[in-house]
Amino acid sequence: MDYNKAIMEIKTDIKNVFNSDNDTEIAAWDHRYATGIKLVDDQHRELVTLTNQLYKACRTRDGTLGNVFKETMHKMVEYVHFHFTAENELLERSGYPEYPDHKKEHDSLIKDILTSVKSYEDGNKFVPNSFVRTLKEWIFGHIAIKDHLYATYIRDQMNKGLLAKNFFG
C-alpha cells in the first residue's frame, strides 16, 4: 500500500467535505471518509452530526445560543470521550505502531474542547463560531488522514493473517 499516495488523494478530496450550501450544516459526511470499520464510521457520522448541531446553534438569532451551545458542547465532550476510548482500544489491541501519536492527537482535541468550554463559560462569546470551524477541520483532517492510515494498517494485518478476519467483532 502506498500510504503517501493515499494521503495525497485524501487531502485533494477533503475540501469537498467542507463545502455545503445548506445553512444548517457546516460539514457533510461522504462515503470517501469511511474507514470500512462500521463501528468507527458510525461514530464518525455522529461526530459530524454534533458538529452540525453546534453550527446550527451558532446561527440562531433568537438568543438561545448560550443554552443550545452549552447543551451540545456537553454532548460533544461525552461523545468524543466515548469515541476516543473505543478507537484507542481498537488501535492498542491491533498493535498499531502509530498508536501513541494517534492517542496524543485525541488527547489534544479533548483538551481543546475543555478549554473552549471553559472560555465560553468565562464569558468569551466568540468561542462558538471559532470552535465549530476548528472542530470541523480537526475531525475531517483526522478522519480523512490519520484514521484512514490505521484502517489501512488493520486491513493489511488481516490480509497477512496477523489479525483475525473477525477482529472487529
What's the confidence (pLDDT) of residue 22? Answer: 53
152-155: long-range contacts, CB 8 A cutoff, minimum separation 24: 152/1, 152/3, 152/6, 153/94, 153/96, 153/97, 153/98, 154/37, 154/90, 154/94, 154/96, 155/36
What cell does 28 get?
457533510
Largest CA distance in the chain: 57
User: Is the separation of the CB atoms in 132 and 51 below 8 Å?
Assistant: yes
Within 13 A of 113's CA, how many CA atoms are on the CB side? 24
What's the confidence (pLDDT) of residue 127? Answer: 81
Within 13 A of 102's CA, how many CA atoms are on the CB side? 23
CATH number of 3-13+37-159, picked from 3.40.50.2300, 2.40.50.1040, 3.40.47.10, 1.20.120.50: 1.20.120.50
What cell does 164 get?
483475525
77: which residues sit within 8 A by CB, 6+ positions away?
Answer: 110, 113, 114, 117
pLDDT in tens, the chain (169 residues): 555 555 555 455 444 444 444 566 888 888 888 998 888 999 999 999 988 888 887 777 666 667 777 788 888 889 999 999 999 999 999 999 999 999 999 999 888 888 888 888 888 877 887 888 888 888 888 988 999 999 999 989 988 988 887 776 5
User: Is the separation of the CB atoms in 143 and 44 below 8 Å?
Assistant: yes
Within 13 A of 81's CA, how many CA atoms are on the CB side? 9
